[in-house]
Structure 1
Amino acid sequence: MTAASGRPAEPEVIWTRPHRSGRGPRPAHSRESIAAEAVRIADADGIDAVSMRRVAAGVGAGTMSLYNYVPRKEDLYELMVDAVSGEYDLSAAPTGDWRADMLALARQTRDLMRRHPWLPRLLTPVHGFSPNALRYLEHCLECLAPLDAPDGDKLELVAAVNGTVATFVGSEQALAERARALPWSEAAEQRVRAAYLGSRLATGAYPRLAAALAGAGAAIPAHDDVFDRVVLRLLGGWG
Structure 2
Amino acid sequence: MAGRAAEPEVIWARPERAGRGPKPAYSRADIVAAAVRIADADGIDALSMRRIAADIGCGTMSLYNYVPRKEDLYELMVDAISGEYDADVPPSGDWRADMRAVARQTRGIMHRHPWVIRLMSTGYAYGPNALRFLEYCLGCLDGVDLPGGAKMELIATVNGTVMTLVANELAIAERTRSLPWSAERERAVRTAYLMGRLAGGGYPRLAAVLIEAGAETLGIEEIFDRTLNRVLDSFVPAARNGVSSRPDA
Query: Do they fold alike, i.e. is TM over 0.5?
Result: yes
**Correspondence for 2:246:** none
> In the alignment, is residue 173 of structure 1 matched against residue 170 of structure 2?
yes
Task: Tell me how far 1:237 sits from its aligned partner.
Answer: 1.0
- Picking from 73, 76, 84, the partner of 1:76 is 73
Counterpart amino acid of residue 121 in structure 2: T
**Correspondence for 2:195:** 198
Task: Tell me how far 1:110 sits from its aligned partner.
Answer: 0.5
**Correspondence for 2:213:** 216
Q: Deviations over 1:170-208 (max 9, x none)?
A: 111111222222222211111111111111222233333
- What does residue range 86-101 of structure 1 map to in structure 2 within 5 Å? 86-101=83-98
- Picking from 131, 141, 151, the partner of 2:128 is 131
Say how many residue pairs are matched: 232
Distance 1:102 1:174, change over 3 A: same
> In the alignment, is residue 231 of structure 1 matched against residue 228 of structure 2?
yes
Greater RCO, CA 8 A, separation 6+: 1
Equivalent residues of 1:98, 1:143 under 8 A apart = yes
Aligned-partner SS, 2:87:
coil
Task: Tell me how far 1:11 sits from its aligned partner.
Answer: 2.3
Task: Tell me how far 1:23 sits from its aligned partner.
Answer: 6.2
Counterpart amino acid of residue 56 in structure 1: A
Aligned-partner SS, 1:237:
helix
TM-score scaled by length of structure 2: 0.88
Counterpart amino acid of residue 144 in structure 2: L
CA distance in 1, matches of 2:59, 2:21: 18
Any gaps of 5 or more consecutive residues in structure 1? 1-7
Q: Tell me which stretches of 4 or more aligned residues in structure 1 moved more than 6 Å.
A: none
Task: Tell me how far 1:9 sits from its aligned partner.
Answer: 4.8
Aligned-partner SS, 1:67:
helix
Counterpart amino acid of residue 216 in structure 1: A
> In the alignment, is residue 108 of structure 1 matched against residue 119 of structure 2?
no
CA distance in 1, matches of 2:20, 2:179: 58
Any gaps of 5 or more consecutive residues in structure 2? 237-249
Counterpart amino acid of residue 25 in structure 2: A
- Picking from 3, 28, 31, the partner of 2:25 is 28
Identity of aligned residues (%): 63
**Correspondence for 1:161:** 158
**Correspondence for 1:4:** none
Of the structure 1 ranges 18-27 and 214-223, higher mean CA displacement relative to structure 2 is found in: 18-27
- Picking from 36, 39, 63, the partner of 1:39 is 36
Equivalent residues of 1:43, 1:115 under 8 A apart = yes
**Correspondence for 1:64:** 61
